Amino acid sequence: MKSLLILCLLALAGCASYKTFNQTAEGQVILRGGVKKTESWPDSLIFKRMSWYQGITLYFDALFWKADLDSPFAKWFSADEKEFFTKCEHFLVTAGYSADASKISHVNFREQMKLNGYDDIVLNNFASSMKSHPSANEWRLQNYKIMGYCKRAPSRIGVKGLAINFPSFEQFEVEL
């Protein structure tokens, strides 16, 4: 019992000293299966995930999917939303969550995307379908802002993939 108490105190002390450290993390968010009207499919929609933390506090979370017209999930786009595919070198769907807009906001994120050569596009139809997905509650997607980004201009950052650089954090680069 005494050793368990010491172990818990050491873990608590380690967490307390870790709290002021800014860090980034990456991973995936997977939505399995989809439905559009009377059609359903078993495929998975896989988002790359980039997260910015101070200690254990999440400041900003961003999900990225390089949209593909051959994916069954493209059925979630309206005709107007699909039209942007033809005008873009790359088309991304993002879902962003800002825990504290005074630290990192959606505006900060949009500015970083512009530096990467992307223009933002509202995706009401796709966002509605995504937020209605059965896994949406598991990932708390109702708290995320879902947008499209169309790459029409070259990157001003000079990286091959996508680079996001928020103040006081290391630049985060991801290949999409």
Beta bridge partners of 30: 46
Comparing 165 with 159, the larger pLDDT belongs to 165
H-run or E-run covering 164: strand 162-164
Read off the tokens for 76.
């979630």
> Is the Cβ–Cβ distance between 112 and 104 less than 8 Å?
no
Rounded to 5°, the CA angle 154-158-161 comes to 80
Would the pLDDT of 8 be above 60? no
Read off the tokens for 172.
């985060």
Q: Which of 44-58, 111-125, 142-156 has the lowest mean pLDDT?
A: 142-156
Read off the tokens for 57.
């506090």
Average pLDDT over residues 152-172: 83
Q: What is the pLDDT of residue 7?
A: 60
Residue with tokens 């990286």: 159
Read off the tokens for 29.
């968010």
Q: How far apart are CA 24 and CA 174, in angstroms?
A: 12
